[in-house]
A and B are shown apart, each in its own frame.
Chain A
Amino acid sequence: MLDTAKTRWHPIAASSDLPFRHVFHAQLLGREFAVWRADDGYVNAWENRCLHRGVRLSIGINDGRELKCQYHGWRYSNRTAGCTYIPAHPADAPARTITNRTYPAVERYGLVWSAEEPVDEVPAVSGLAEGDLLVLRGIPLNAPADLVADRLKDYRFQPSGRLDGAEADVTVEAAGAFSAALCSRDGDAATLAVFFVQPVDSGRSVIRGVLDSRLEGAERLAVLRHHNELLSKLRDTLERDAAQMPAPAPIEPVIERVSPELAEMPEATPHGRKAAIRVQVARKWAAADGIAGFELRPIKGLLPTFQPGAHIDVHMPNGLIRQYSIVNGPGESDSFGIGVKLERDSAGGSSCMHETVREGDVLAISEPRNNFPLRRDAVKTIFVAGGIGITPLIAMAQALKNQDLAFDLHYFAQNEAQLAFPERTGTLGMALKPHLGLSPEQTGAKLREILSGYRPDTHLYLCGPGPMLEAARTIAAELGWPETAVHFEYFKNTKVIDDSSSFEVALARSCMTLTVPAGRTILDVVREAGVDMPSSCEQGACGTCLATVIEGEPDHQDVYLNDAEKRSGTKIMTCVSRAKSARLVLDL
């Protein structure tokens, strides 16, 4: 009887089955996997079905950083398998629940190993040394794995140095339910061959053999052919025998729905911003004059999926919370990179990051949030960055670059030494257009030049200091850019908030009516009443605490919504905005 334990490690591929930009189609105990190596070397083993419409991901496109489904073009990130882009919803950031099921994948002995629910590590095999091996051609066959493993004990072969002989003495060194280690000796030549039998399904297997010594050139080929010939003969006999036996029912793997962790709403806590993830500062460096770069690695497990334009909250040792954009390119999912500019009038945030936080320190961060999503359906995209405003736009530009989509990145800074992350912007080629040392008037003239000649299906993404953003938005409007094509993110809201009004908020879904007195925010009052609301910057810049207005007239005081959105009166940033009417009805 075939042992179908999900805890046992099995090989599912050879390392050489995962060449550059390929997706391998694997199967173990009935369950299919799409296995692919990203350009950074990480091996992904995913359930072989797009969670959208069930199409096999093994026919998808490996672009080196993401896997794109052939059916509707949904893109999934290296490592996390989280969705980063849905072409049918180009303006939206995909929800974090859109994550394909992943399985462990470990490379050992020239093979890729996996298991549904492994315990411990991939077992060590005595006699095999990493790096000094010869992996034989895998032999798929239509016979049950237990039968195959049993027959492999009678496999006879010549040691590698003595292929022309026929007198080798073969002994079984070890044998298990899915493996056999055989040693062939002929004179002074000896070769250890370890065979692993991959149970593909109840009646299908792959024989994966590994020899104990590395060979080169013609000798290597001769040994590979020697075993291929013998194993093919063994396959033919085994298939004949298996065909005489009653065919076992195929194993039917359970396709699980979204994992419980993802399916549940995050735990409601009435006290504001959450710092769910612990990261270590793996590297801190000068990303530019006055800008510190930080590489944040997870203490355990994987970081959540991020999309270009996303930011995280960083909780600092001094108790302050600040937002920083992730600068990573697509699929670069082993750490988060951020850039922190030392502000002259720092209230303690940037100075803490610059002066106190060191390499090796542990920080708490929030999950990435994306309130500045990037469309990937524009004919051309124009990025305009001012100073440290480069950070979200670097991530965006790298994503478009990877998909070979047209863009320009205009980067305004005082001088060359202030251009941050040169190792990233350097990969963008001619699309990077630095503009150095311009006065506000010269900047305005340059923006006018960049934004002249608006064409449909061009999109503009702005990030930089407030005055520059105001100027760019005004110029864009004058030059005929529709508001829907102009996307922006402010660092902070410099407006003076008028919180003198007092009004009522009715929460339509929670069936509560609350009073917001002068001096308090909607966000505070709603949370105090036990209704969970996400928030991040809490000054009307980042877009996290957005709520939908059903009735009443909002008094907008944020810098997140654009003018058309503000005029429509259907959205409100609950951390700073209030009501002009006596009552607001919110969809909360």
Chain B
Amino acid sequence: MITLYDYELSGNCYKLRLLMSMLGIEWKTVPVDFYPGREHKSDWFLKLNPLGQLPVIDDDGFVLRDAQAILVYLASRYDPAGTWYPREDPKLLGEIGQWLAFADGITGTASAARLHDGLFYDFDVEAARAGAHRLFRILDEHLWFGEQEGRDWICAANHPTIADIACFPYIMLSEEGGIPRQDYPAIRRWCDRLKRIKGFIVMSGVFPAGPARAA
């Protein structure tokens, strides 16, 4: 059984819950009081992750940190169809790696702005917002041309990959950091598509989309 060290309002923890839900696997959570308790900096947690960051998983004794790394692990181990992280396709793996790094960039900007606004972190919020807008412009353009080419997802595949899951949460939560998505229509449409994947779940601040087809 997978144990997720979890904070309910964390987008990086949410992306793991999201993938596990879409994969249909079971897990249990250990809540970590990220705010205001700063439990991720407590002695017991630093033993799990010396970086003092969420999320962490423990899969029957195998402990792993870093949201993007955990996505790679979960998809490699628990996706029998092998579509979320296609191990046999070098180009696609390269693309996924590229966008996982991009997702880290989103965490460093959009998530930082949200921590500033919501949890009073002492960050340069204007720089964080400007950085997020720069990334969103790049992703919107990428997705817009994807639509023109008949591609619905971030990577060149006819199905979503963990790159989509990695980028999604802090984009959806960006408005909580004062970053509107109004200027990114292709990102907004991609968010709708992602919300319609079977097994999609929400978190606070992430709303469901309507049904794709008439019931």
Contacts and interface: CB of A to CB of B under 8 A. Distances in A.
Nearest to B210: A61
B145 A20 contact: no
A17 interface: yes
Contacts of A39: 214
Interface string B134-155: 0000000100110111000000
Nearest to A225: B145
B141 to A, nearest CB: 7
Nearest to A403: B215
Interface in B78-112: none
B183 A140 contact: yes
Interface stretch (B18-26, B28-36, B157-165, B184-192): B184-192
Given A19-B189, A22-B192, A137-B144, A221 B149 contact: yes
A224 B145 contact: yes
Interface in A394-417: 401-404
B182 A228 contact: no
Contacts of B123: none
A225 B188 CA distance: 21
A311 interface: no
A225 B192 CA distance: 25
B141 A404 contact: no
A24 interface: yes
Contacts of A17: 185, 189
Interface in A31-71: 39, 59, 61-64, 68, 70
Contact of B211 (A24, A25, A63, A221): A63
Interface string B174-215: 000000011101001100100000000000000111111011
Given A19-B189, A228-B141, A25 B182 contact: yes
Given A21-B192, A224-B148, A62 B182 contact: no
A61 B209 contact: yes
A27 interface: yes
B215 A402 contact: yes
A59 B202 CA distance: 14
Nearest to B215: A404
A21 B183 contact: no
Nearest to B192: A22
A221 B209 contact: no
Most buried by B among A19, A22, A70, A232: A22
B76 to A, nearest CB: 33
A138 interface: yes
Contact of A404 (B183, B209, B211): B211
Main secondary structure of the interface of B (DSSP, over half): loop
Interface in A1-38: 13, 16-17, 19-22, 24-25, 27
Contacts of B182: 25, 27, 140
B138 to A, nearest CB: 10
Interface string A134-145: 000110100000
Contacts of B207: 59, 70
A59 B206 CA distance: 10
Nearest to A63: B210
Contact of B214 (A13, A59, A402): A402
Contacts of A401: 215
Interface in A259-275: none
Contacts of A63: 210-211
A137 B141 contact: yes
Contacts of B214: 39, 64, 402
A21 B192 CA distance: 9
A569 B159 CA distance: 63
A221 B192 contact: no
A220 B145 CA distance: 11
Contact of B185 (A24, A232, A402): A24
B14 to A, nearest CB: 18
A72 to B, nearest CB: 13
A21 B212 CA distance: 7
A403 B210 CA distance: 10
Contacts of A24: 185, 188
B148 A21 contact: no
B145 to A, nearest CB: 7
A62 B215 contact: no
A499 to B, nearest CB: 49
Nearest to A67: B210
Interface in A65-84: 68, 70
B205 to A, nearest CB: 11
Contacts of A404: 211, 215
Contacts of B149: 221
Nearest to B147: A16
Interface in A281-325: none
Nearest to A140: B183
A62 B189 contact: no
Nearest to A206: B183
Contacts of A27: 182
Interface in A125-177: 137-138, 140
A335 to B, nearest CB: 20
B139 to A, nearest CB: 14
Contacts of B210: 21, 61-64, 68
Nearest to A14: B185
A22 B209 CA distance: 8
Nearest to A229: B141
Most buried by A among B147, B183, B207, B210: B210
Interface string A225-262: 10010001000000000000000000000000000000
Given A64-B211, A137-B145, A232-B141, 19 more contacts: A13-B185, A19-B189, A21-B211, A22-B189, A24-B185, A24-B188, A25-B188, A39-B214, A61-B208, A61-B210, A64-B210, A64-B214, A70-B207, A137-B141, A140-B182, A140-B183, A221-B148, A224-B148, A228-B145
7 contacts: A17-B189, A20-B212, A21-B192, A22-B189, A25-B188, A232-B141, A402-B214
Interface of B: 141, 144-145, 147-149, 181-183, 185, 188-189, 192, 207-212, 214-215
In the A-B complex, the 10 residue pairs with the smallest Cβ-Cβ separation, listed nearest first, are A404-B215, A140-B183, A61-B210, A25-B182, A70-B207, A63-B210, A21-B210, A17-B185, A62-B210, A137-B144
